[in-house]
Chain A
Amino acid sequence: MTSSIAFKSFTGLRHSSAEPPKLHSQLHNISPPNYCQRHLQITAGISSPKLQNRNLRVAVIGGGPAGGAAAETLAKGGIETYLIERKLDNCKPCGGAIPLCMVGEFDLPLDIIDRKVTKMKMISPSNIAVDIGQTLKPHEYIGMVRREVLDSYLRERAASNGANVINGLFLKMDLPKGGKGSETAPYVLHYTEYNGKVGGAGQKKTLEVDAVIGADGANSRVAKSIGAGDYDYAIAFQERIRIPDDKMVYYENLAEMYVGDDVSPDFYGWVFPKCDHVAVGTGTVTHKGDIKKFQLATRNRAKDKILGGKIIRVEAHPIPEHPRPRRLSDRVALVGDAAGYVTKCSGEGIYFAAKSGRMCAEAIVEGSGNGKRMVDESDLRKYLEKWDKTYWPTYKVLDVLQKVFYRSNPAREAFVEMCADEYVQKMTFDSYLYKKVVPGNPLDDLKLAFNTIGSLVRANALRKEMNKLSV
């Protein structure tokens, strides 16, 4: 029944724009009934004025996964889209891991994926190593991508759908002044355009748009312009190391996670395989000043496996820990890292950035009736509502996991011990790869709870004995 409703509404859409039919095959996280019902009420719900002689103009600031996905959806929806990105060949420092569902949902070509990680090793403070990934089916994997490849692919797809990609640096934005007529007054964006002809410093330009999507990352200027507030953030520090070929074989499709106080007091250290080198890094929220020390410790822990490697690049970037206090203001919405949509515990952000960009763009497309009407804040709020409803369980569960298992060394030991359990592995991968928190078999859940408590108790008991030793 749901599929027939979906079909009806999409034939309706074809009148106004070339909407490809495959949108309705996205089963995973967009709930089709919700989407379609709203669509059917479209003429009744929107009270905004119809735009005369033009389509809605929306600017997307930032051309990463969030910006690229948003621009594509907007352009497909018939909206006049401007994508402003300051560095088109930007090689972003990033873990680079994308879940399986992203490949399907965003129709990513398989050659974008450098490596398919099918095994992970978790290593506890006392070097107890646990292999996870035995429960993965043959077609399941974690994709490792190069950000410059992924970002430019999404941007090009947006451009081919009709978005105007501008190579420029967003400077500031003039908000429409309050009072009469402010619902339709445009936002004036000031940016510096870089193009080959002018060269060097670039040209100052302005652009008038009706709505703005801020996808400009952790240090978002759009967020500053709307007074979105600050968030706590972690510093992730990473070194790209080219290791000898025989050592690279070990990391063929395996990623490692190191936990321990030496590596990070509130996060983890990692070794992720990239196209022809590995990325060794760590992160922290509370002890940012000690990040170099943590990085040395991470390299020390992986020493045997990266011996003989040469550091080819050092990079660091901030990772938001929680959403900004205001993710929306009037007709400006934040998505991706700019909004703070990075999960705790794993620090995953690429998928959520792309998904939120798409969701926000969809809300604008809907609210404007494919660009025919002006949007207002309530239309954009629908994106926030949908986002919070769909992903709140995921974020909360990861937050709880971080609070419980990243607290102290005994907790981390228990964490690694728990990862050895097959049920845990299956649950973890299912929820990571498909971004759904699925309640498992209650009996198994009970056994899991029991085992978790047992592990935590044992590890803490050992810790108490350890403290006695030093006294």
Chain B
Amino acid sequence: MSISMSFFSPPPPTHLLISFSSKPHFTDKTIFFLRPANPLLLSAPKVSTDNGAGISAAIEEPKAEQKVAEPAGSAPEGEESSLGSNGAVADAGVKLESKFVDPRWIGGTWDLTQFQKDGSTDWDAVIDAEVRRRKWLEGNPESSSNDDPVVFDTSIIPWWAWIKRFHLPEAERLNGRAAMIGFFMAYVVDSLTGVGLVDQMNNFFCKTLLFIAVAGVLLIRKNEDIETLKKLLDETTFYDKQWQATWQDETRSSSTAE
């Protein structure tokens, strides 16, 4: 730890900035954030004493700060470069230990008072923040600690925020597909058989077609879904088959024995 501290105490922004080849215009913000980042770094006890790892840990922290400071739009690239440097620098077996830090992440959960926009909580920003946290942790798994446990629960975000952000765009897409298919099929059936829309709805065969069309639109959203559905179906019965295997013997043997 003492070796790594020597890297941090006289903050060498120029060294670190040169390595930020991808984002030169972050430099002014980096210098600003490097100072407050240091106290947090010094309190992180797990930085490796290996020199190479020490430097890269120092690089990571400012990047963590910078990715939090930037708005969501440009953060993706910041994210990418920090993850890239992790992959490049991390030696086999040496796990870089830098905790996830964010000014809004307090006491193991998101501090909702810092997400205020126009007087009410900006749930989209909460979702974005949590997404970034999970992405960070996927690339840099952290030790779970008893001193600052994570207690965040996604259910504090109200149901309508989820619906507005995730369900509605998808619903719009699927309804659009269903409408296009419906209109086209109604026209084709009418032109082939002369049966109008209202009469089609009274026909059992047409109702079946409608059911299949709706189910298809709901279940098959990407080309890969067909394979996925087939695999899922196999999966549901696979375990049962493994258990039944021993009984297939019985019918054979009992017919020969008795």
- B-binding residues in A (CB < 8 A): 123, 125-129, 229, 231, 250, 258, 260-263, 296-297, 300-305, 322-329, 344, 376-378, 381, 384, 388, 392, 395-396, 399, 403, 409, 413, 417, 420, 454-455, 457-459, 461-466, 468-471
Q: What distance in Å separates the Cβ of B240 from its nearest Cβ neighbour in chain A?
A: 7
Residue B128 at the chain A interface, CB threshold 8 Å? yes
A465–B126 alpha-carbon span in the complex (Å): 12
Q: A125-B137, A126-B137, A327-B246 are in contact. Are A377 and B76 (CB under 8 A)?
A: no
Q: A128-B152, A296-B93, A462-B154 are in contact. Are A377 and B142 (CB under 8 A)?
A: no
Contacting A at CB under 8 A, from B157-173, are 157, 159, 162, 165-166
Residue B155 at the chain A interface, CB threshold 8 Å? yes
Residue B132 at the chain A interface, CB threshold 8 Å? yes
Q: A127-B137, A462-B127 are in contact. Are A301 and B143 (CB under 8 A)?
A: yes
A interface majority secondary structure: helix
Least CB separation from B248: chain A residue: A325
Q: What distance in Å separates the Cβ of B75 from its nearest Cβ neighbour in chain A?
A: 8
Let me know if A304 and B145 touch, CB within 8 A.
yes
Let me know if A417 and B245 touch, CB within 8 A.
no
Looking at A304, A324, A327, A381, which has the most chain B CB atoms within 10 Å of its CB? A304
Can you give 19 A-B contacts (C-beta < 8 A)? Answer: A125-B141, A126-B152, A258-B144, A301-B143, A303-B97, A323-B243, A325-B242, A326-B245, A326-B249, A328-B246, A395-B239, A395-B243, A454-B159, A462-B154, A465-B131, A466-B134, A469-B75, A470-B79, A470-B80
Let me know if A455 and B250 touch, CB within 8 A.
no
Q: A300-B95, A377-B253, A458-B162 are in contact. Are A392 and B243 (CB under 8 A)?
A: yes
Least CB separation from B141: chain A residue: A262
Let me know if B235 and A250 touch, CB within 8 A.
no
Q: A388-B243, A396-B239, A454-B155 are in contact. Are A462 and B149 (CB under 8 A)?
A: no
Q: A326-B245, A461-B162 are in contact. Are A301 and B142 (CB under 8 A)?
A: yes
> Which of B83, B138, B149, B235 contacts A129, CB < 8 Å?
B149
Let me know if B143 and A300 touch, CB within 8 A.
yes
Contact with A along B99-129 (1 / 0, CB 8 A): 0000000000000000000000000000110
Let me know if A378 and B254 touch, CB within 8 A.
yes
> Which of A125, A392, A464, A470 contacts B83, CB < 8 Å?
A470
Looking at A125, A262, A413, which has the most chain B CB atoms within 10 Å of its CB? A262
Least CB separation from B165: chain A residue: A461
Let me know if A469 and B131 touch, CB within 8 A.
yes
Least CB separation from A261: chain B residue: B138
Let me know if B131 and A297 touch, CB within 8 A.
no
Q: What distance in Å separates the Cβ of A188 from its nearest Cβ neighbour in chain B?
A: 22
> Which of B131, B138, B149 contacts A409, CB < 8 Å?
B138
A396–B154 alpha-carbon span in the complex (Å): 29
Q: A127-B144, A403-B235, A469-B132 are in contact. Are A325 and B79 (CB under 8 A)?
A: no
Let me know if A322 and B162 touch, CB within 8 A.
no
Looking at A329, A376, A466, A471, which has the most chain B CB atoms within 10 Å of its CB? A466
B interface majority secondary structure: helix
Given A262-B138, A304-B145, 15 more A-B residue pairs with CB atoms under 8 Å apart are A123-B144, A126-B134, A129-B149, A229-B245, A261-B138, A297-B95, A301-B141, A323-B245, A324-B246, A328-B249, A381-B250, A396-B239, A454-B155, A461-B165, A465-B131
Residues on A with C-beta less than 8 A from B233 are: none
Least CB separation from B149: chain A residue: A129
> Which of A126, A301, A322 contacts B242, CB < 8 Å?
A322
A260–B142 alpha-carbon span in the complex (Å): 11
Residues on B with C-beta less than 8 A from A297 are: 95, 141
Let me know if B128 and A465 touch, CB within 8 A.
yes
> Which of A323, A324, A466 contacts B131, CB < 8 Å?
A466
A455–B253 alpha-carbon span in the complex (Å): 48
A11–B137 alpha-carbon span in the complex (Å): 65
A354–B94 alpha-carbon span in the complex (Å): 42
> Which of B134, B154, B162, B249 contacts A417, CB < 8 Å?
B154
Residues on B with C-beta less than 8 A from A454 are: 155, 159
Residue B146 at the chain A interface, CB threshold 8 Å? yes
Residues on B with C-beta less than 8 A from A464 are: 166
Let me know if A304 and B239 touch, CB within 8 A.
no
Residue B135 at the chain A interface, CB threshold 8 Å? yes
Q: What distance in Å separates the Cβ of B144 from its nearest Cβ neighbour in chain A?
A: 5
Residues on B with C-beta less than 8 A from A396 are: 239-240
Looking at B133, B142, B143, B240, which has the most chain A CB atoms within 10 Å of its CB? B143
Let me know if B135 and A466 touch, CB within 8 A.
yes
Q: What distance in Å separates the Cβ of A330 from its nearest Cβ neighbour in chain B?
A: 8
Q: What distance in Å separates the Cβ of B44 from its nearest Cβ neighbour in chain A?
A: 12
Q: What distance in Å separates the Cβ of B130 from its nearest Cβ neighbour in chain A?
A: 6
Residues on A with C-beta less than 8 A from B155 are: 417, 454-455, 458
Least CB separation from A384: chain B residue: B246
Residues on A with C-beta less than 8 A from B93 are: 296
A458–B243 alpha-carbon span in the complex (Å): 34
A159–B97 alpha-carbon span in the complex (Å): 54
Contact with A along B64-86 (1 / 0, CB 8 A): 00000000000110011001000
